[in-house]
C-alpha cells in the first residue's frame, strides 16, 4: 500500500469511527434520559448528558480529521496535521471538566447523604450502556493503533469514562441499599481516574506542539541509515523532530571528513535524506560539519 493510500485509509477509518460514535451516543442519550425521567433518577439523567458529550467530541474528531488531511497551502506549508493535536487537547479539557463534575457531584452526595434509587428499566439501560460504550472505546483504541491519530485515542478514553460512570451507577444499584455512601465514594475514585486520563491526552497533544526529544528507536535508525549510506560513522547529533500529523520534518547534524569537497558532502547528505524518506517516511534536512 502506498503512503497516499494509507493516509486515505486512515482518514476513512477515522470518519467511520466518528459517525458511529455520534449515532450510537445519540441513541444511548435518548434511552438513558428517558430511563432517568421515568424513574426520577437525577444521576441517570446527568449520565445521559455525559453520553451526549461524547457525540460532541466525535464531531471534533471528524472536523480535525478533515482539516488535518488538507494538503499544504501557502499559509500552511507543512500541512494541517497538527489540527489532530489541537483536537486532542480540546477533548482532554472536556474530559477534565467531566472529571470535575464527577468530583463535585460526589462530594455533594456525601454532604447531603444522598442515595440513588433505580428501577428495572434503568438497570437494563445502564447495563447496555456499559457494554456498548466499552465496545466503542475498544474500537476507538484499535483505530488509533492502526492510524496513529491521537484524537481517536482521546475519543476512546471519552467513551470509557462514560462506561465507567454507568458502571458506578450499576454498582450503586446493588450496593446502595447497604451503603448509602458507596456511589459517592466510587464517583470520587473515578473522577481521579478521569483526571489522569485527561492529563495523558493533553500531554500527548501539547508535547509535539512544544517540541519533544527524539525517541531512542528513531535515533538508532538515523545513525544506522547514515552509517550505511556513507560507509563510515557520521556522528549523528542535534536532531530536531517536527510533527505535523502524518507529515514529519526532521533536521540533524552529521560530521564528515574535512577534506571532502562541498559537492561530495552534499551528495552524501542527499543519499541520507533519500534513505530516511524511503525507510522512515520523514523529510529530513541535514547540516554537515567537519570532523
**CATH number for the domain that contains residue 284:** 3.30.70.1350
Distance (Å, rounded) from C-alpha 233 to C-alpha 210?
31
What pLDDT, in 10s, does the model give residues 43-61? 777 777 777 777 766 676 6
- Taking alpha carbons only, the member of 266, 245, 290 closest to residue 80 is 245
The whole-model pTM stands at 0.62
**Cell numbers found for residue 237:** 547529533
In the structure grid, which three cell numbers stand for residue 109, read together? 452526595
173 in the same domain as 30: yes
Mean pLDDT, to the nearest integer, of 226-250? 81
What was the pLDDT predicted at 64?
67
| Structural contact between residues 58 and 22, judged by C-beta atoms closer than 8 angstroms | yes
Q: What is the DSSP letter of 177?
A: T
Contacts with 6 (C-beta within 8 Å, 6 or more apart), sequence order: none
- Whether the CB-CB separation of 267 and 255 falls below 8 Å is answered with no
- What one-character-per-residue DSSP string does 198-235 give? HHHHHHHHHHHHH--PPPHHHHHHHHHHHHHHHSS---
Which among 100, 72, 66, 99 is positioned nearest to 84, based on CA atoms? 66
Model confidence at 79, pLDDT cuts 50, 70, 90, reads: low
pLDDT digits (tens, 9 = 90+) for 172-220: 777 766 777 877 787 787 788 778 878 877 887 787 776 667 888 889 8
Chosen domain end from 210, 237, 265: 210
Same structural domain, 188 and 275: no
Q: Residue 271 belongs to what domain range?
A: 216-290
Helix (H) or strand (E) run with residue 289 in it: strand 283-290
Are 191 and 232 part of one and the same domain? no
Q: Looking at the structure, do residues 221 and 185 belong to the same domain, yes or no? A: no
Each residue of 87-102: pLDDT tens digit? 778 878 887 888 888 7
Last residue of a domain, one of 177, 210, 243: 210
Task: Give the strand pairing for 283-290 and 247-256.
Answer: parallel
**Overall average pLDDT of the 138-152 stretch:** 83
State how beta strands 247-256 and 237-244 pair: antiparallel
Q: C-alpha 152: how far from its chain's center?
A: 5
- Helix residue spans in the chain (DSSP H): 3-39, 42-68, 83-112, 120-147, 150-175, 182-210, 216-230, 262-280
What's 11's domain CATH number?
1.20.1510.10
Amino acid at each position: 500500500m502506498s503512503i497516499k493510500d494509507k493516509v486515505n485509509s486512515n482518514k476513512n477509518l477515522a470518519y467511520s469511527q466518528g459517525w458511529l460514535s455520534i449515532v450510537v451516543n445519540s441513541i444511548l442519550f435518548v434511552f438513558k434520559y428517558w430511563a432517568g425521567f421515568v424513574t426520577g433518577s437525577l444521576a441517570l439523567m446527568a449520565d445521559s448528558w455525559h453520553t451526549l458529550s461524547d457525540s460532541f467530541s466525535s464531531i471534533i474528531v471528524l472536523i480535525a480529521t478533515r482539516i488535518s488531511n488538507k494538503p499544504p497551502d501557502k499559509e500552511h506549508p507543512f500541512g494541517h496535521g497538527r489540527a489532530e493535536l489541537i483536537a486532542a487537547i480540546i477533548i482532554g479539557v472536556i474530559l477534565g471538566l467531566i472529571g470535575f463534575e464527577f468530583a463535585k457531584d460526589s462530594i455533594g452526595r456525601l454532604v447531603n447523604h444522598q442515595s440513588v434509587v433505580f428501577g428495572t428499566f434503568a438497570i437494563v439501560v445502564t447495563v447496555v450502556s456499559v457494554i456498548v460504550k466499552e465496545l466503542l472505546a475498544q474500537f476507538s483504541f484499535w483505530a488509533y493503533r492502526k492510524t496513529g491519530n491521537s484524537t481517536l485515542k482521546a475519543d476512546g478514553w471519552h467513551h470509557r469514562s462514560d462506561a465507567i460512570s454507568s458502571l458506578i451507577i450499576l454498582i450503586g444499584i446493588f450496593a446502595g441499599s447497604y451503603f448509602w455512601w458507596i456511589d459517592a465514594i466510587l464517583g470520587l475514585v473515578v473522577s481521579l481516574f478521569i483526571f489522569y486520563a485527561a492529563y495523558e491526552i493533553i500531554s500527548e497533544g501539547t508535547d509535539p506542539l512544544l517540541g519533544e526529544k527524539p525517541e531512542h528507536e528513531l535515533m538508532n535508525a538515523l545513525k544506522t541509515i547514515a552509517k550505511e549510506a556513507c560507509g563510515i560513522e557520521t556522528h549523528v547529533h542535534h536532531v530536531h523532530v517536527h510533527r505535523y500529523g502524518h507529515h514529519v520534518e526532521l533536521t540533524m547534524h552529521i560530521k564528515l571528513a574535512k577534506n571532502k569537497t562541498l559537492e561530495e558532502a552534499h551528495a552524501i547528505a542527499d543519499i541520507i535524506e533519500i534513505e530516511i524518506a524511503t525507510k522512515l517516511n520523514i523529510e529530513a534536512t541535514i547540516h554537515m560539519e567537519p570532523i
